[in-house]
Structure 1
Amino acid sequence: MLTAELMKRLDAKEQRIIEIRRHLHEHPELSFEEEQTAAYIEDFYKDVPVDTVETDVGDHRGIVVTIKGEKPGKTIAIRADFDALPIQEETGLPFASKTEGIMHACGHDGHTAYMLVLAETLAEMKGQLTGTIKVIHQPAEEMPPGGAIGMVKAGVLDGVEAVFGIHVMSTMETGKIFYRSGNTQTGRARFKLHIQGKGGHGSSPHMANDAIVAASSFVMNCQTIISRRVDPFDTAVVTIGSFDGKGQFNVIKDSVALEGDVRTMSHESRELVEKQVRQFAEGLETSFGVETTLKYANDYPVLYNDPGVTEQVRQALEEAAIPEVSAVTEVAPQPPSEDFAYYLQEKPGCFFYVGAKPEGKESYPHHHPKFEIDEKSLLISAKAMAAVVGAYCGRGE
């Protein structure tokens, strides 16, 4: 069986996956700046018997590798991202980031490592494959507009019947794989609001127009969007993450700038929150006599896992009986956003999760300076995706 042989070969390559991950972890690069990482990926494939390697795909340094099976069949895509974050690492690991202020604090180094070795193994076994596998190495997942949308526009999903991705999760138990059908991760928007009032002396507020008071009213009004406008059975979050109103204690502030983050789990809530934010911003002009400028941008959509494809993934994982996996279980919706959602807008597919909680240590969330994963999750990720590939591209044996 194709899947069994894949598992055996991946077992023999586990240490190599870990070594690649550690190398990438030491040399992180920010979104849209991944020059050396892209070069490393491209170099990896020089001696791998894949059919094609396309570089500089999309808006940046995306790489797409094609592996064609011996017999015709389905075309699927599997994706891994490879960018890091502007975070100073505090893990104390021997292979910690060597780049000041930048760290792989989300596990994309692990995604790339397992995917490289899996792709190599699939290429070595393509005589046993049916159909075609597109391996998508995607930059810039972390920074809007994200790398996925550029790669979709470049046609990486042309002819693809289904697309799959994995995320390792530091807060989920190692040895377990998690999935969800339907709306799975929130869509995201961000906004910037500039409020222009009239500055003055703190002793004479009647001669000024306080931008801080107007901005504070906006912040408090935004808190009512979720509690009084969104269906309580839906999910939405509005966060004001920046309030730039610093001044002097006795000076009435002339202007204030705010920045906010929005997460929603449905298209309806996405439209509703935007409408309310715009109304509150416009209302400040009437209520406080200030001038407002709002820039509101929707980016990553709600991540929707096709129910039929997700069920096939679940079955494939169960049937593979991966020794390192103790359970394949359904998970609750996930609050963070993910630009893999762009692929799922175009093609049916499934984005699922591999537990990577460090054993015997405190686990830290993604995007934390002490973020760490259990490296056992890397082999599990490779085997999990191998099981999915085997289910789609190994039936012609």
Structure 2
Amino acid sequence: MEKENDRENAFFEDLVAVRRRLHACPELDFDLKETVGIVGESLDSLGIPWRFVAGSGIAALLEGTEPGRTVLLRADMDALPVEEEWEVPWRSRYPGRMHACGHDVHTACLLGAARLLADRKNDFSGNVLFVFQPAEETSGGALPMIRDGLLEGPAPDGAFALHCDPSRPAGTVGVHRGAFRAASDMFDCVVRGRGTHGAEPHRGDDVIAAACRVVTALHELVGRTVSPAEPAVLSIGSFHGGSARNVLPERVEFSGILRTLKQETRVALKAKIRRTVMNIPDILGAVGEVSFTEGYPALLNDPELADLVLRAAEGVLGKENVAVLTEPSMGVDDFSFFLQRMPGCYFMLGTGTGKGEDAPLHSPRFRPDERCLPAGAEVLAAAALSFLAGDYQK
């Protein structure tokens, strides 16, 4: 028993050490030189072969004793342009950058799972594909990795990933069945017309007033065209027009984002946004234009694999530390691209202290309780072993 405790303590300390190394060197988007160096070094120490995919992405394949299924385990590695406020020895070395979303935790947990599974590679059939992904916070690294051949030979049959949740205590897990994260669509709008002096508004088109009417109408779209029982969010985050108090400008620009869970709602609302932006200015004598930038698709957990994760987590953490989540999140994650191609489950890892004072994700004061690390690693490993053992039929 004492030796087992020693092993557990050593495992925890190793995870803390690698997480702190990662936390100290937050890197953005696809520019992850130090981060991939730490990941590659860790994989080399475990004897797991790996390769670069899509530039700074890493794919590592652990083979079992016999042919069988392949399971994909994913962690994102990139940080955020946030100035860290914690004064700790492992704080960010780079001004204006921070692991404020916990991707250092995700990466450390996946490296921990790799260590656990490497120790048991003689006990399972099939393969584990460890995916360390760049650019989740920006343009998305999942799709470039897929397009660069990540899923070729052997093709994964299922996928799992976790994400930090500071609202839940460290050492706990939450699992949702079905649609869990939203699809996102960014939109940029322009209202153009004749500019004029503020004393002679009748000689112009007052594009600021027109744009304000458009924004008001857009804010009414969700509440009046989508069922109150269905989650959908439309937000306008920027609005720019004019440079002088006594001049009505020729141009106003504003931007927003649409988040939806159902594809049919996504398509319908985009069409209504387009009509709103174009028609209201037209009625008022101006011209409205809108362009969309498609973001990530909705993230859909497979209900049976969600149940597999629940059972695996209960076996590792105890039933009292595992919860079934009933409400989806309107946040986004490009793990959804993997789940478009295979069944899988994305679950939440508690990282909070349990005192109700934990800062949210993306905060400069986000600070995960490091007791979450072995829990995340062990649940990922347990879910992979369960999947490879056939505890799932489709």
TM-score bucket of the superposed structures, by smaller chain:
over 0.9
> By how many angstroms is 1:207 displaced?
1.5
What does residue 19 of structure 1 align with?
17
Is this contact kept in 2: 1:358–1:372, CA < 8 A?
no
Whole-angstrom CA distance in 2 between matches of 1:147 and 1:85: 14
Whole-angstrom CA distance in 2 between matches of 1:9 and 1:346: 38
Is this contact kept in 1: 2:83–2:98, CA < 8 A?
yes
2:290 counterpart (283, 294, 309): 294
3-state DSSP class of the match of 1:170? strand
Whole-angstrom CA distance in 1 between matches of 2:201 and 2:332: 43
1:85-129 C-alpha deviation (Å, 9 max, x unpaired): 111112333322121111111000111112113213322331222
1:122-168 C-alpha deviation (Å, 9 max, x unpaired): 22331222110000000010113x01111222332342110000111
Structure 2 vs 1, CA of residues 322 and 7 (structure 1 numbering), >3 Å: closer, same or farther? farther
Whole-angstrom CA distance in 2 between matches of 1:91 and 1:213: 44
Structure 2 vs 1, CA of residues 246 and 109 (structure 1 numbering), >3 Å: closer, same or farther? farther
2:367 counterpart (366, 372, 376): 372
3-state DSSP class of the match of 1:137? strand
1:1-43 C-alpha deviation (Å, 9 max, x unpaired): xxxx999956531111111111111110111222221232223
1:199 counterpart (177, 195, 198): 195
What does residue 54 of structure 1 align with?
51
Whole-angstrom CA distance in 2 between matches of 1:178 and 1:383: 15
> By how many angstroms is 1:326 displaced?
3.7
Moved more, 279-288 or 227-236: 279-288
3-state DSSP class of the match of 2:340? helix
2:130 counterpart (135, 159, 171): 135
> By how many angstroms is 1:251 displaced?
1.5
What does residue 148 of structure 1 align with?
142
Whole-angstrom CA distance in 2 between matches of 1:211 and 1:93: 50
Structure 2 vs 1, CA of residues 395 and 272 (structure 1 numbering), >3 Å: closer, same or farther? closer
Identity of aligned residues (%): 32
> By how many angstroms is 1:367 displaced?
1.1
1:236 counterpart (223, 226, 232): 232
1:87 counterpart (71, 82, 90): 82
Q: TM-score under structure 1 normalisation?
A: 0.92
> By how many angstroms is 1:284 displaced?
3.2
What does residue 32 of structure 1 align with?
30
Structure 2 vs 1, CA of residues 39 and 289 (structure 1 numbering), >3 Å: closer, same or farther? farther
What does residue 347 of structure 1 align with?
342
Moved more, 180-189 or 88-97: 88-97
What does residue 164 of structure 1 align with?
160
Whole-angstrom CA distance in 2 between matches of 1:40 and 1:175: 25
Is this contact kept in 2: 1:230–1:272, CA < 8 A?
no
3-state DSSP class of the match of 2:67? strand
Structure 2 vs 1, CA of residues 187 and 10 (structure 1 numbering), >3 Å: closer, same or farther? farther
Whole-angstrom CA distance in 1 between matches of 2:389 and 2:119: 14
> By how many angstroms is 1:350 displaced?
0.4
> By how many angstroms is 1:394 displaced?
5.2
Instruction: Give the aligned CA root-mean-square deviation in angstroms.
Output: 2.1
Structure 2 vs 1, CA of residues 336 and 120 (structure 1 numbering), >3 Å: closer, same or farther? same
> By how many angstroms is 1:360 displaced?
4.2
> By how many angstroms is 1:298 displaced?
2.0
3-state DSSP class of the match of 1:279? helix
Structure 2 vs 1, CA of residues 7 and 82 (structure 1 numbering), >3 Å: closer, same or farther? farther
Whole-angstrom CA distance in 1 between matches of 2:146 and 2:5: 30
Q: How does 1:264-279 map to 2 (within 5 A)?
A: 264-279=260-275
What does residue 114 of structure 2 align with?
119
What does residue 98 of structure 1 align with?
93
> By how many angstroms is 1:262 displaced?
0.9
Query: 1:213 aligned to 2:209?
Result: yes
> By how many angstroms is 1:211 displaced?
1.7
Is this contact kept in 2: 1:166–1:353, CA < 8 A?
yes
Whole-angstrom CA distance in 2 between matches of 1:149 and 1:7: 41
What does residue 385 of structure 1 align with?
380
> By how many angstroms is 1:175 displaced?
2.7
Structure 2 vs 1, CA of residues 26 and 206 (structure 1 numbering), >3 Å: closer, same or farther? same
Moved more, 287-296 or 337-346: 287-296
1:154-197 C-alpha deviation (Å, 9 max, x unpaired): 33234211000011111222232100111111111101112222
What stretches of structure 1 move > 6 A for 4+ residues in a row?
5-8
Moved more, 104-113 or 246-255: 246-255
1:218-252 C-alpha deviation (Å, 9 max, x unpaired): 11010111111112221100000001125211111
Is this contact kept in 1: 2:82–2:100, CA < 8 A?
yes
Tell me which amino acid in the other structure corresponds to 1:225: L
Whole-angstrom CA distance in 2 between matches of 1:395 and 1:301: 28
Whole-angstrom CA distance in 2 between matches of 1:305 and 1:141: 18
1:202-222 C-alpha deviation (Å, 9 max, x unpaired): 111112222211110111010
Whole-angstrom CA distance in 2 between matches of 1:384 and 1:8: 20
> By how many angstroms is 1:361 displaced?
6.6
Whole-angstrom CA distance in 2 between matches of 1:112 and 1:193: 38
3-state DSSP class of the match of 2:72? strand
What does residue 322 of structure 1 align with?
317
Gaps of 5+ in 1: none
Gaps of 5+ in 2: none
Whole-angstrom CA distance in 2 between matches of 1:316 and 1:45: 24
> By how many angstroms is 1:64 displaced?
0.2
Whole-angstrom CA distance in 1 between matches of 2:281 and 2:148: 43
Query: 1:71 aligned to 2:66?
Result: yes
